[in-house]
Amino acid sequence: MDQKFEIIETAAQPVLSVRKTTSVAQLPQELGAAYHSIITYLGELGQQPADAAFACYYNMDMENLDVEMGFPVAAAVPEQGQIKASEIPAGKKATALYAGPYQEMGPTYEALTQWIKDNGHQPTGVVYELYYNSPMEVPESELLTKIVFLLK
């Protein structure tokens, strides 16, 4: 596996998001519904996302995933219903760019986790995935996902 891992430090990034607890089996439907509602709301505000769609995983319980789904925005905007104003926190992060089907990301997660440990860092347990394209746009083999581990 030819992977490029790196440590980055970022400022806080404002986002609009929906946070839910769901099973991994229901995740595609939840992601689609959340992204659609946020894009619709941004359109009403006359705004566009500032970066790629993301999912933030606060645990890895496949039956009860605590997941936040949304888009980065240029500046904080008002909340509406289940759409909340939040942020991707500032700080150190370990990243990897993954190309391929979502269900085959496991080895990249494992390799990045080991790389973090080998380089003396500690993950917080919170992981973001940024989705640069979707299965509706490209074949699964061409899906691009940035995996981002928040570090202590």
Over 90: is that where the pLDDT of 14 sits?
Answer: yes
Q: What pLDDT score does 3 carry?
A: 80
Rounded mean pLDDT of the chain? 96
Q: What pLDDT score does 50 carry?
A: 97
Q: What pLDDT score does 83 carry?
A: 98
pTM (predicted TM-score):
0.95
Q: What pLDDT score does 25 carry?
A: 94
**Range 5-151 has CATH code 3.40.220.10:** no
Over 70: is that where the pLDDT of 2 sits?
Answer: no
Give strand ranges (E) for 23-143.
Answer: 53-57, 65-72, 84-88, 91-99, 123-131
